[in-house]
Amino acid sequence: ETGVTQTPRHLVMGMTNKKSLKCEQHLGHNAMYWYKQSAKKPLELMFVYNFKEQTENNSVPSRFSPECPNSSHLFLHLHTLQPEDSALYLCASSQEGGPNTGELFFGEGSRLTVL
Protein backbone atom coordinates (compact mmCIF):
# COMPACT_ATOMS: atom_id res chain seq x y z
CA GLU A 1 0.00 0.00 0.00
CA THR A 2 1.81 3.09 -1.26
CA GLY A 3 -0.88 5.66 -0.53
CA VAL A 4 -1.54 6.19 -4.25
CA THR A 5 -4.56 4.41 -5.69
CA GLN A 6 -5.29 4.01 -9.38
CA THR A 7 -8.48 2.81 -11.06
CA PRO A 8 -9.18 0.90 -13.15
CA ARG A 9 -6.27 -1.53 -12.99
CA HIS A 10 -7.04 -2.82 -16.46
CA LEU A 11 -8.83 -1.14 -19.35
CA VAL A 12 -9.54 -2.31 -22.88
CA MET A 13 -10.93 0.25 -25.28
CA GLY A 14 -11.56 0.74 -28.94
CA MET A 15 -10.04 3.56 -30.90
CA THR A 16 -13.28 5.55 -30.88
CA ASN A 17 -14.06 5.18 -27.18
CA LYS A 18 -13.74 7.77 -24.45
CA LYS A 19 -12.54 6.63 -21.06
CA SER A 20 -10.80 8.05 -18.01
CA LEU A 21 -8.11 6.88 -15.62
CA LYS A 22 -8.35 7.98 -12.01
CA CYS A 23 -5.67 8.50 -9.40
CA GLU A 24 -6.03 9.43 -5.74
CA GLN A 25 -3.23 10.07 -3.27
CA HIS A 26 -3.67 9.88 0.51
CA LEU A 27 -0.24 11.24 1.41
CA GLY A 28 -0.91 14.96 1.54
CA HIS A 29 1.55 15.59 -1.26
CA ASN A 30 1.56 18.76 -3.33
CA ALA A 31 2.52 17.34 -6.73
CA MET A 32 1.05 14.61 -8.93
CA TYR A 33 2.26 13.02 -12.14
CA TRP A 34 1.22 10.81 -15.03
CA TYR A 35 3.86 8.51 -16.51
CA LYS A 36 3.65 6.13 -19.45
CA GLN A 37 5.55 2.86 -19.16
CA SER A 38 6.18 0.88 -22.35
CA ALA A 39 8.31 -2.21 -22.73
CA LYS A 40 12.04 -1.58 -23.25
CA LYS A 41 11.67 2.19 -22.91
CA PRO A 42 12.37 4.55 -20.02
CA LEU A 43 9.43 5.88 -18.11
CA GLU A 44 7.97 8.81 -20.00
CA LEU A 45 6.74 11.75 -17.98
CA MET A 46 3.48 12.96 -19.48
CA PHE A 47 2.03 15.55 -17.12
CA VAL A 48 2.94 17.24 -13.86
CA TYR A 49 0.68 19.15 -11.50
CA ASN A 50 2.13 21.23 -8.67
CA PHE A 51 -0.45 22.64 -6.27
CA LYS A 52 -3.14 21.72 -8.84
CA GLU A 53 -1.47 23.79 -11.56
CA GLN A 54 -0.14 22.01 -14.60
CA THR A 55 3.55 22.76 -14.89
CA GLU A 56 4.73 20.23 -17.45
CA ASN A 57 3.24 18.83 -20.62
CA ASN A 58 5.91 16.89 -22.40
CA SER A 59 4.57 17.09 -25.95
CA VAL A 60 1.79 14.66 -25.21
CA PRO A 61 -0.81 14.24 -27.98
CA SER A 62 -4.09 16.01 -27.36
CA ARG A 63 -5.94 12.69 -27.28
CA PHE A 64 -4.65 12.57 -23.68
CA SER A 65 -6.23 15.20 -21.47
CA PRO A 66 -5.32 15.57 -17.77
CA GLU A 67 -7.50 17.01 -15.06
CA CYS A 68 -6.52 17.84 -11.48
CA PRO A 69 -9.57 19.07 -9.55
CA ASN A 70 -7.71 19.18 -6.22
CA SER A 71 -4.34 18.22 -4.78
CA SER A 72 -5.46 14.65 -4.03
CA HIS A 73 -7.06 13.65 -7.31
CA LEU A 74 -5.76 13.35 -10.84
CA PHE A 75 -7.51 12.11 -13.96
CA LEU A 76 -6.32 11.19 -17.42
CA HIS A 77 -9.08 11.46 -20.00
CA LEU A 78 -8.60 9.33 -23.09
CA HIS A 79 -10.26 9.67 -26.49
CA THR A 80 -9.61 8.42 -30.00
CA LEU A 81 -6.50 6.57 -28.90
CA GLN A 82 -4.17 4.61 -31.15
CA PRO A 83 -2.95 1.03 -30.67
CA GLU A 84 0.55 2.38 -29.89
CA ASP A 85 -0.94 4.07 -26.82
CA SER A 86 -1.31 0.65 -25.22
CA ALA A 87 0.90 0.74 -22.13
CA LEU A 88 0.96 0.85 -18.36
CA TYR A 89 -0.01 4.31 -17.12
CA LEU A 90 1.43 5.14 -13.74
CA CYS A 91 0.32 7.87 -11.42
CA ALA A 92 2.74 9.23 -8.84
CA SER A 93 2.85 11.90 -6.17
CA SER A 94 5.57 13.72 -4.30
CA GLN A 95 6.10 16.43 -1.73
CA GLU A 96 8.12 19.07 -3.50
CA GLY A 97 10.06 21.87 -1.89
CA GLY A 98 11.28 20.01 1.18
CA PRO A 99 13.83 17.34 2.14
CA ASN A 100 12.03 14.69 0.12
CA THR A 101 11.96 16.66 -3.09
CA GLY A 102 12.16 14.34 -6.07
CA GLU A 103 11.00 11.25 -4.20
CA LEU A 104 8.06 9.72 -6.03
CA PHE A 105 5.34 7.48 -4.67
CA PHE A 106 3.71 5.41 -7.40
CA GLY A 107 0.35 3.76 -7.78
CA GLU A 108 0.08 0.24 -9.14
CA GLY A 109 -0.77 1.47 -12.61
CA SER A 110 -3.58 1.14 -15.11
CA ARG A 111 -2.86 -1.34 -17.90
CA LEU A 112 -4.41 0.08 -21.06
CA THR A 113 -5.01 -1.92 -24.22
CA VAL A 114 -6.25 -0.12 -27.31
CA LEU A 115 -7.79 -2.35 -29.97
Partner 1 sequence: AQSVTQPDIHITVSEGASLELRCNYSYGATPYLFWYVQSPGQGLQLLLKYFSGDTLVQGIKGFEAEFKRSQSSFNLRKPSVHWSDAAEYFCAVGAITGANNLFFGTGTRLTVIP
- Residues near partner 1, by CB under 8 A: 2, 4, 6, 31, 33, 40-43, 45, 48, 50, 55-56, 90, 92, 94, 96-97, 101-109
Residue with Cβ nearer partner 1 (35 or 78): 35
- The CA distance from 63 to 66, in Å, is 10
Q: In angstroms, rounded to a whole number, what is the distance separating the alpha carbons of residues 112 and 115? A: 10
For partner 1, give the closer residue by CB, 37 or 72. 37
Report in angstroms how near the CB of residue 96 gets to partner 1 at its nearest: 5
Partners of 18 in the β-ladder = 79
Please say whether the beta carbons of 9 and 112 come within 8 A. no
CA-based nearest residue to 75, from 1, 30, 8, 29: 8
Taking the complex as a whole, how short is the minimal distance between the CB of residue 113 and partner 1, in angstroms? Answer: 15
Q: Between residues 29 and 81, which has the closer beta carbon with respect to partner 1?
A: 29
Cβ at position 44, least distance to partner 1 in Å: 9
Indicate the DSSP class of residue 30: S
Residue 33 identity (one-letter amino acid): Y
Least Cβ distance, residue 107 to partner 1 (angstroms): 5
